[in-house]
Structure 1
Amino acid sequence: MSCPICQKDSDPKYRPFCSRRCADIDLGRWLKGGYVIPGTAQEEDDPAPGTPEESPRH
């Protein structure tokens, strides 16, 4: 198996990566939003599907 970052042979210690450096690069991409699942964007304030909405406060 090759490293998904640099294509070198993977090291069992860091599998599937070849080194700590490539593992950290991958983690950084996740944390910065570099990997996303395609789909429609939702507002953060939208309730989760199946969750009853709160009534407006007056």
Structure 2
Amino acid sequence: MACPICGKETVQSYRPFCSKRCADVDLARWLSGGYAVPSQDPDDAEEALDAAAKAAEERLPRRH
């Protein structure tokens, strides 16, 4: 079986990956939304835009 990240032979302790590095790369892709499935549902798009706007607001420095 080949590692889905780099294509090398898998190692039993990290299966289906070949190393901790490739397992971590895969985890980072999941956490960053790299494996997201596109949706055609308009409600999903609206929720995503709202979440992005809220995240952007939280990153801005507050002015008093």
TM-score, with length taken from structure 1: 0.68
Bigger Cα Rg: 1
Aligned pairs for 1:1-58 (under 5 A) are 1-41=1-41, 42=44, 43-44=46-47
CA distance, structure 2, for counterparts of residue 40 and residue 27 of structure 1: 26
Using CA pairs under 8 Å that are at least 6 residues apart, name the structure with larger relative contact order, 1 or 2. 1
User: Which consecutive residues of structure 2, in runs of 5 or more, have no partner in the other structure?
Assistant: 48-64
Deviations 1:1-55 (A, max 9, x none): 00000000000100000000000000000000000113225133xxxxxxxxxxx
TM-score normalized with structure 2 length:
0.63
Please identify which structure carries the higher helix content.
Answer: 2
Structure 1 gaps of 5+ residues are: 45-58
When the two chains are superposed, the root-mean-square deviation of aligned CA atoms in Å is 1.2
Which contiguous aligned blocks of 4+ residues in structure 1 show a shift greater than 4 angstroms?
Answer: none
